[in-house]
Protein backbone atom coordinates (compact mmCIF):
# COMPACT_ATOMS: atom_id res chain seq x y z
CA UNK A 1 0.00 0.00 0.00
CA UNK A 2 2.82 2.41 0.84
CA UNK A 3 4.44 1.65 -2.51
CA UNK A 4 1.17 2.50 -4.28
CA UNK A 5 0.90 5.82 -2.41
CA UNK A 6 4.52 6.64 -3.16
CA UNK A 7 3.95 5.87 -6.84
CA UNK A 8 0.92 8.15 -6.87
CA UNK A 9 3.12 10.90 -5.44
CA UNK A 10 5.65 10.32 -8.21
CA UNK A 11 2.84 10.57 -10.75
CA UNK A 12 2.04 14.05 -9.49
CA UNK A 13 5.71 15.04 -9.74
CA UNK A 14 6.31 13.70 -13.25
CA UNK A 15 2.87 14.48 -14.61
CA UNK A 16 2.27 10.96 -15.87
CA UNK A 17 1.42 7.46 -14.80
CA UNK A 18 3.96 5.14 -13.24
CA UNK A 19 3.38 1.65 -14.59
CA UNK A 20 2.34 -0.56 -11.64
CA UNK A 21 4.89 -3.16 -12.69
CA UNK A 22 7.68 -0.65 -11.92
CA UNK A 23 6.56 0.19 -8.39
CA UNK A 24 8.44 -2.59 -6.56
CA UNK A 25 11.61 -1.80 -8.52
CA UNK A 26 11.20 1.90 -7.74
CA UNK A 27 10.99 1.13 -4.03
CA UNK A 28 13.98 -1.20 -4.17
CA UNK A 29 16.13 1.27 -6.09
CA UNK A 30 15.08 4.19 -3.92
CA UNK A 31 15.92 2.44 -0.66
CA UNK A 32 19.14 0.84 -1.92
CA UNK A 33 20.50 4.08 -3.38
CA UNK A 34 19.57 6.03 -0.25
CA UNK A 35 21.45 3.46 1.83
CA UNK A 36 24.41 3.52 -0.52
CA UNK A 37 24.72 7.29 -0.38
CA UNK A 38 24.45 7.32 3.41
CA UNK A 39 27.86 5.64 3.35
CA UNK A 40 29.37 7.13 0.18
CA UNK A 41 28.92 10.68 1.40
CA UNK A 42 30.85 10.12 4.62
CA UNK A 43 33.37 7.37 3.96
CA UNK A 44 36.15 9.78 2.96
CA UNK A 45 35.73 11.71 6.19
CA UNK A 46 35.74 8.46 8.14
CA UNK A 47 38.85 7.26 6.29
CA UNK A 48 40.85 10.40 7.06
CA UNK A 49 39.69 10.82 10.64
CA UNK A 50 39.29 7.29 11.91
CA UNK A 51 41.47 4.93 9.89
CA UNK A 52 43.55 7.35 9.81
CA UNK A 53 45.12 7.84 6.40
CA UNK A 54 46.20 10.95 4.55
CA UNK A 55 43.82 12.73 2.21
CA UNK A 56 46.09 11.83 -0.70
CA UNK A 57 45.97 8.13 0.11
CA UNK A 58 42.23 8.33 0.63
CA UNK A 59 41.89 9.90 -2.82
CA UNK A 60 43.99 7.17 -4.41
CA UNK A 61 42.01 4.49 -2.63
CA UNK A 62 38.75 6.07 -3.80
CA UNK A 63 40.07 6.19 -7.37
CA UNK A 64 41.06 2.53 -7.19
CA UNK A 65 37.66 1.57 -5.76
CA UNK A 66 35.95 3.50 -8.55
CA UNK A 67 37.99 1.77 -11.25
CA UNK A 68 37.13 -1.64 -9.84
CA UNK A 69 33.47 -0.64 -9.51
CA UNK A 70 33.38 0.52 -13.14
CA UNK A 71 34.30 -2.99 -14.23
CA UNK A 72 31.33 -4.38 -12.30
CA UNK A 73 28.84 -2.58 -14.59
CA UNK A 74 29.49 -4.60 -17.75
CA UNK A 75 29.82 -7.73 -15.63
CA UNK A 76 26.41 -7.00 -14.11
CA UNK A 77 24.90 -6.62 -17.56
CA UNK A 78 26.39 -9.88 -18.82
CA UNK A 79 25.35 -11.72 -15.66
CA UNK A 80 21.81 -10.35 -15.87
CA UNK A 81 21.52 -11.68 -19.43
CA UNK A 82 22.80 -15.05 -18.30
CA UNK A 83 21.31 -15.49 -14.81
CA UNK A 84 18.33 -13.16 -14.87
CA UNK A 85 17.76 -9.54 -13.88
CA UNK A 86 16.27 -10.15 -10.46
CA UNK A 87 19.03 -12.53 -9.41
CA UNK A 88 21.74 -10.00 -10.25
CA UNK A 89 19.83 -7.23 -8.50
CA UNK A 90 19.46 -9.47 -5.43
CA UNK A 91 23.17 -10.33 -5.58
CA UNK A 92 24.04 -6.63 -5.75
CA UNK A 93 21.84 -5.91 -2.75
CA UNK A 94 23.43 -8.79 -0.84
CA UNK A 95 26.89 -7.49 -1.76
CA UNK A 96 25.92 -4.02 -0.53
CA UNK A 97 24.69 -5.40 2.80
CA UNK A 98 27.66 -7.73 3.22
CA UNK A 99 30.13 -4.97 2.43
CA UNK A 100 28.39 -2.70 4.92
CA UNK A 101 28.70 -5.37 7.59
CA UNK A 102 32.38 -5.75 6.67
CA UNK A 103 32.85 -1.99 7.06
CA UNK A 104 31.49 -2.32 10.57
CA UNK A 105 33.63 -5.34 11.39
CA UNK A 106 36.99 -4.22 10.03
CA UNK A 107 37.49 -1.43 12.54
CA UNK A 108 40.19 1.18 12.02
CA UNK A 109 42.27 -0.89 9.58
CA UNK A 110 42.73 0.85 6.22
CA UNK A 111 43.24 -2.14 3.92
CA UNK A 112 40.16 -4.13 5.03
CA UNK A 113 38.11 -0.93 5.17
CA UNK A 114 38.95 -0.01 1.59
CA UNK A 115 38.42 -3.59 0.41
CA UNK A 116 34.94 -3.47 1.95
CA UNK A 117 34.35 -0.02 0.47
CA UNK A 118 35.38 -1.28 -2.96
CA UNK A 119 32.87 -4.14 -2.68
CA UNK A 120 30.26 -1.65 -1.47
CA UNK A 121 30.93 0.55 -4.51
CA UNK A 122 30.71 -2.44 -6.86
CA UNK A 123 27.23 -3.26 -5.59
CA UNK A 124 25.70 -0.20 -7.25
CA UNK A 125 27.33 -0.68 -10.64
CA UNK A 126 26.62 -4.41 -10.58
CA UNK A 127 22.92 -3.72 -9.97
CA UNK A 128 22.61 -0.77 -12.32
CA UNK A 129 22.83 -2.66 -15.61
CA UNK A 130 20.40 -5.32 -14.38
CA UNK A 131 17.96 -2.68 -13.12
CA UNK A 132 18.01 -0.86 -16.46
CA UNK A 133 17.52 -4.10 -18.37
CA UNK A 134 14.65 -5.05 -16.06
CA UNK A 135 12.95 -1.71 -16.75
CA UNK A 136 13.23 -2.39 -20.48
CA UNK A 137 11.83 -5.89 -19.95
CA UNK A 138 8.88 -4.70 -17.85
CA UNK A 139 7.51 -1.83 -19.93
CA UNK A 140 6.56 -1.58 -23.57
CA UNK A 141 8.54 0.36 -26.14
CA UNK A 142 6.23 3.37 -25.92
CA UNK A 143 6.64 3.74 -22.15
CA UNK A 144 10.40 3.20 -21.87
CA UNK A 145 11.45 6.84 -22.04
CA UNK A 146 9.16 7.76 -19.17
CA UNK A 147 10.07 4.61 -17.21
CA UNK A 148 13.80 5.34 -17.48
CA UNK A 149 13.19 8.95 -16.50
CA UNK A 150 11.22 7.87 -13.44
CA UNK A 151 13.93 5.42 -12.41
CA UNK A 152 16.64 8.05 -12.82
CA UNK A 153 14.59 10.46 -10.72
CA UNK A 154 14.22 7.79 -8.03
CA UNK A 155 17.99 7.29 -8.12
CA UNK A 156 18.64 11.03 -7.82
CA UNK A 157 16.21 11.40 -4.92
CA UNK A 158 17.91 8.52 -3.11
CA UNK A 159 21.33 10.01 -3.82
CA UNK A 160 20.09 13.29 -2.33
CA UNK A 161 18.35 11.84 0.72
CA UNK A 162 21.20 9.48 1.63
CA UNK A 163 23.67 12.22 2.62
CA UNK A 164 20.95 14.04 4.56
CA UNK A 165 20.18 10.91 6.53
CA UNK A 166 23.88 10.17 6.89
CA UNK A 167 24.50 13.65 8.30
CA UNK A 168 22.23 12.84 11.20
CA UNK A 169 23.68 9.37 11.68
CA UNK A 170 27.31 10.53 11.55
CA UNK A 171 26.66 12.47 14.73
CA UNK A 172 26.18 9.10 16.42
CA UNK A 173 29.37 7.65 14.92
CA UNK A 174 30.45 5.50 12.00
CA UNK A 175 28.65 2.36 13.27
CA UNK A 176 25.36 4.29 13.14
CA UNK A 177 26.07 5.30 9.53
CA UNK A 178 26.62 1.66 8.53
CA UNK A 179 23.60 0.52 10.55
CA UNK A 180 21.45 3.15 8.84
CA UNK A 181 22.63 2.00 5.43
CA UNK A 182 21.90 -1.61 6.37
CA UNK A 183 18.42 -0.70 7.58
CA UNK A 184 17.60 0.69 4.18
User: pLDDT tens digits, residue range 138-173?
Assistant: 998 888 988 998 899 999 999 999 999 999 999 999
- Exposed, middle or buried by CB within 10 Å (0-12, 13-18, 19+), for 63? exposed
pLDDT attached to residue 87: 97
pLDDT, one tens digit per residue, over 68-115 is 999 898 999 999 999 999 999 999 999 999 999 999 999 889 999 999
pLDDT at residue 2 tops 70: no
Q: How far apart are CA 127 and CA 176, in angstroms?
A: 25
- Quote the pTM value: 0.87
**Alpha helices (H) in the chain, listed in sequence order:** 2-14, 23-40, 43-50, 55-83, 85-105, 110-138, 144-170, 174-183
End-to-end distance of the chain based on CA atoms, in angstroms?
Answer: 18
pLDDT of residue 66: 93
Amino acid sequence: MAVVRAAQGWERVIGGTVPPVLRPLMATVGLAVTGQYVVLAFFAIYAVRELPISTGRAGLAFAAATCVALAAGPAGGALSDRLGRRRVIAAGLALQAGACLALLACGPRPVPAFAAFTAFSCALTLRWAAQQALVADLVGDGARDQAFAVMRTVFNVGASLGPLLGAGLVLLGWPAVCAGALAL
